[in-house]
Amino acid sequence: MNQLKEIHAYTLRNGIDHTKILIGKLLEIPNLQYAHLLFIHTPTKRTAFIYNKLIQAFSLHGQQRQSLSLYSQMLLQGCPPNEYTFNFLFSACTSLSSSSLGQALHTHFIKSGFELDLFASTALLDMYAKMGMLEFARKVFDEMHVQEIPTWNAMIAGYARFGNMVGAEELFLLMPPRNVVSWTAMISGYSQNKQYEKALELFMKMENEKVLKPNEVTLASILPACANLGALEIGRRIEAYARKNGFFKNVYVSNAILEMYARCGEIDIAWRLFDEIGSHRNLCSWNSMIMGLAVHGQCAMALVLYDQMLREGTTPDDVTFVGLLMACIHGGLVERGRQIFNAMTNDFHIIPKLQHYGCMVDLLGRAGKLREAHETILSMPMKPDSVVWGALLGACSFHGNVEVAEIAAESLFALEPCNPGNYVILSNIYASAGQWNGVAKLRKVMKGGQITKAAGYSLIEEGGQLHKFIVEDRSHSKSEEIFALLDGVYRIIKLQRSTFDFHSILDLNNYS
């Protein structure tokens, strides 16, 4: 920096104009304030190139409003923008999430005559897509004369980000030759929208086509699906692929592998990976390990790990506290749970969210403190959802409390009028209490509202694929072989039982 200041002083003394070079070097450091001052006070004619450099630098360093201010100055100075100017400005608007500014820039863009520029139009589409203005994004997409793969990807990613996977699927099937970003956008979209089976199916299709290889982002997107489906065999294969291709060094990939093993109950492997990540651990690594320990019954270890995390200087976030409260739930640690809940606000200034209140309701409910759990719901600063009321209803089922169960169920009926599970749980509570009038009333309501319980299903992982089955399901391609094998197993069990019964009778006769 001192050297640049010396060069600047030398140019001023000798009347040499090196403004363009100096601003470029200052932005590389970066020293945006000095570069901007130099730009303001320079006598040289200000070109679109230098304006663009500054607009881009301010946008990249989180000073988007300064970028837009520079654009205003650019127009006032009579310096016409070019397509690159709009590229950077659309990015700035995306970061600000300002739809009004975005639409105003869109108007300037059209008036400037750059709507035929592929890259600038794709940046405009991407801005609308990332802000959730999908109708505007699709209009830009449809009006483009040329649509390259990045254009399709931006539109697909926009649909996926805001849950419109049907729109994303339609474009994905129609688009020209796809690249790895296209596949990853779809896999990530399915995973983020909790369509884990579809995410895994598409990933395996990508693997089978063998045209494109998954990258770090693809792996970080598919591993949560493996974790949620318990697809351990596929997860292990992905870990091997990640290590072979050097992707395990990527903290997002290593964290996703760690979470996959932790969620699948392979706590020993998760511990090994946690240690292997070592100094590269971030908050996500700690959270994944704490949550894995919590949900698999190692509650004390989860709390010990939290203490270690604090000692090593990592500050917890709201996700950390969900894991800690889960540990208290599974360990029945009511008082420790209360302390942790209070520490969120008092020690770390984290405002509890719906999930934290839900955990407290679950913790208190399981401990039989149903009144306190109900009072916790009533004291919440936000509207309780079906998960919170469901936790209370589940606790009432365990402890046989009809009065509080009715309160919880009424709220659930209002939130989820077509969910048969809530009616079934309350009916079982009535039945356990011998209140058969309540059972009959609920059955009548379910029949009148045509509320039927959906058939449960099982997922089995075999040969690197997931197979879905419901009761007496014959839709599987190998159902005849499966039922033939089951019949064979049943005959063997029946024969062994008959043999056991025969020998038992002989033993009894001998004893007599």
CA angle 462, 464, 470 (to 5 degrees): 45
- The ranges assigned to domains in the chain are 372-452
Burial of 419 (0-12, 13-18, 19+ CB in 10 A): middle
The pLDDT assigned to 452 comes to: 61
Helices (H), 97-179: 99-111, 118-130, 134-143, 149-161, 165-174
- Yes or no: domain 372-452 corresponds to CATH 1.25.40: yes
Residue 388, φ and ψ in degrees, nearest 5: -65, -50
Is 384 buried (19+), middle (13-18) or exposed (0-12) by CB count in 10 A?
Answer: buried
Q: Give, to the nearest 10 degrees, the angle between helix 2-14 and helix 19-28.
A: 170
Tell me what pLDDT residue 508 has.
45
pLDDT at 107: 93
Cα–Cα distance for residue pair 481/267, rounded to 1 Å: 36
What does the pLDDT read at residue 57?
87
Name the nearest CA neighbour of 226 among 461, 458, 456: 461
What are the backbone dihedrals phi and psi of residue 315, each rounded to the nearest 5 degrees, phi first? -85, 130
Query: What is the pLDDT tens value at each position of the chain, 512 positions in all?
Result: 555 555 545 454 444 555 666 666 666 677 677 677 667 666 666 788 888 888 888 888 888 898 898 899 889 888 899 999 999 999 999 988 888 999 999 999 999 988 889 999 999 999 999 999 999 999 999 999 889 999 999 999 999 999 999 999 999 999 988 999 999 999 999 999 999 999 999 999 998 888 899 999 999 999 999 999 989 999 999 999 999 999 999 999 999 999 999 999 999 999 999 999 998 999 999 999 999 999 998 999 999 999 999 999 999 999 999 999 999 999 999 999 999 999 999 999 999 999 999 999 999 999 999 999 999 999 999 999 999 999 999 999 999 999 999 999 999 999 998 889 899 999 999 999 999 999 999 888 888 776 665 555 566 656 556 666 666 667 777 777 777 887 788 788 877 766 655 455 445 455 44
Residue 12 pLDDT = 45
Which pLDDT score is estimated for 466?
Answer: 64
The pairing of beta strand 457-462 with beta strand 465-470: antiparallel
CA distance 46 to 39: 8
Distance CA 74, CA 82 (A): 11
* Local structure of residue 268 (DSSP, 8 states): H
